C-alpha cells in the first residue's frame, strides 16, 4: 500500500462517523462528505477525493470505524473469562452501540447495501465484520468450521442490524431479546454439529446398542 493510499484510509476512518452523522439528513451523498469535512476542518476537495467511489466507500469506511470501536471496547483480553455465547453477544452489542443514535443513517446504508449492484461488496463487508468478531472471540478454526461460523454469524448480525435500526423499545429491549434468541440458535447448531461430526465410535449407534442388549458385557 502506498503512503497516499494509507493516508486516504486514515482520512476515511477519521471522517466516517461524521459522514454517518450527516447521512442522517443528507443520505450517503457528496453533501454528507462535505458536511463531515467542514466539521473536521478537512479540505473538502481532499475529502471528496477520498470518497470518490460513492456511497459504498462511505459505508465501508463507517464499518471500518465500527470494527475499530468494537476492538477498542472489548479487545485486549476483556472477553477471556466469558463463555463463547457471552463473547459473541458482547461483540455484537459493542458494534450496535457504535452505531447507536444514527439509526436513520443505518437504515439508509442497509438499503444501499441491498441494491443488486452492491450485493457482492456488501457480502465481503459482512464477512469482514463476522471474521473480526470471531477472531476477538478467540476462534482459531482453520477447517470448514472457519467458514460456517462466519457465514452464520454474518447472517445473524445482519438481521440484528435491521432489528436495531427499527427498534423503538426502551434501551433497545426488543433487539436484545432478538439477539439472544439468535445466539441461542448458534449454540444449538454448534452442539448438534459437534455431535454429528464426532468420531464414528463415539456416535450413537442403534446397531451397537441392540448388540449390547443381546450380548451384554460379561
Is residue 138 scored above 80 in pLDDT? yes
Report d(CA 13, CA 66) in Å as an integer: 9
Residue 188, pLDDT above cutoff 80: no
Q: Which residue has the higher pLDDT, 61 or 210?
A: 61
Question: What CA dihedral angle connects 91, 93, 94 and 98, to 10 degrees?
Answer: 140
Q: What is the pTM of this model?
A: 0.83
pLDDT for res 194:
61
| Percent of the chain with pLDDT strictly greater than 70 | 83
- With vertex at residue 152, the alpha carbon angle to CA 124 and CA 165, rounded to the nearest 5 degrees, is 75
How much is the pLDDT for 5? 61
Q: Considering the chain, what is the average pLDDT of its residues?
A: 88
Distance (Å, whole) CA 51 – CA 9:
10
At the fourth CATH level, the homologous superfamily of domain 56-214 is: Tetracycline Repressor, domain 2 (1.10.357.10)
The predicted structure's pLDDT at residue 114: 97
Asked if residue 17 has pLDDT above 60, the reply is yes
pLDDT at 98 over 70: yes
The pLDDT score that the predictor gives to residue 143 is 82
Burial state string for 128-152 with b = 16 or more CB within 10 A and e = fewer than 16: bbbbbbbebbebeeeeebeeebbeb
Q: Which residue has the higher pLDDT, 193 or 101?
A: 101
Q: Say what the pLDDT of residue 145 is.
A: 85
Higher pLDDT, 141 or 59: 59
39-88 tens-digit pLDDT: 999 999 999 999 999 999 999 999 999 999 999 999 778 898 999 899 99
pLDDT confidence bin for 4, thresholds 50/70/90: low
pLDDT at position 196: 61
Question: Which of residues 214 and 114 earns the better pLDDT score?
Answer: 114
Radius of gyration of the chain (CA): 22
Amino acid at each position: 500500500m502506498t503512503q497516499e493510499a494509507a493516508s486516504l484510509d486514515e482520512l476515511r476512518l477519521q471522517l466516517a462517523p461524521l459522514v454517518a452523522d450527516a447521512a442522517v439528513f443528507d443520505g450517503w451523498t457528496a453533501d454528507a462528505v462535505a458536511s463531515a469535512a467542514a466539521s473536521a476542518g478537512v479540505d473538502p476537495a481532499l475529502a471528496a477525493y477520498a470518497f470518490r467511489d460513492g456511497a459504498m466507500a462511505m459505508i465501508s469506511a463507517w464499518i471500518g470505524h465500527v470494527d475499530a470501536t468494537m476492538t477498542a471496547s472489548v479487545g485486549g483480553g476483556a472477553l477471556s473469562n466469558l463463555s463463547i455465547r457471552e463473547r459473541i453477544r458482547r461483540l455484537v452489542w459493542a458494534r450496535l452501540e457504535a452505531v447507536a443514535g444514527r439509526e436513520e443513517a443505518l437504515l439508509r446504508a442497509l438499503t444501499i447495501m441491498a441494491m443488486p449492484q452492491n450485493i457482492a461488496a456488501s457480502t465481503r463487508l459482512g464477512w469482514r465484520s463476522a471474521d473480526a468478531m470471531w477472531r476477538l472471540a478467540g476462534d482459531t478454526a482453520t477447517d470448514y468450521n472457519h467458514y460456517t461460523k462466519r457465514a452464520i454469524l454474518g447472517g445473524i448480525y445482519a438481521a440484528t442490524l435491521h432489528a436495531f435500526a427499527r427498534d423503538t423499545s426502551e434501551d433497545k429491549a426488543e433487539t436484545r431479546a432478538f439477539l439472544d434468541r439468535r445466539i441461542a440458535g448458534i449454540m444449538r447448531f454448534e452442539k448438534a454439529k459437534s455431535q454429528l461430526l464426532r468420531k464414528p465410535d463415539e456416535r450413537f449407534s442403534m446397531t451397537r446398542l441392540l448388540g449390547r442388549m443381546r450380548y451384554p458385557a460379561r
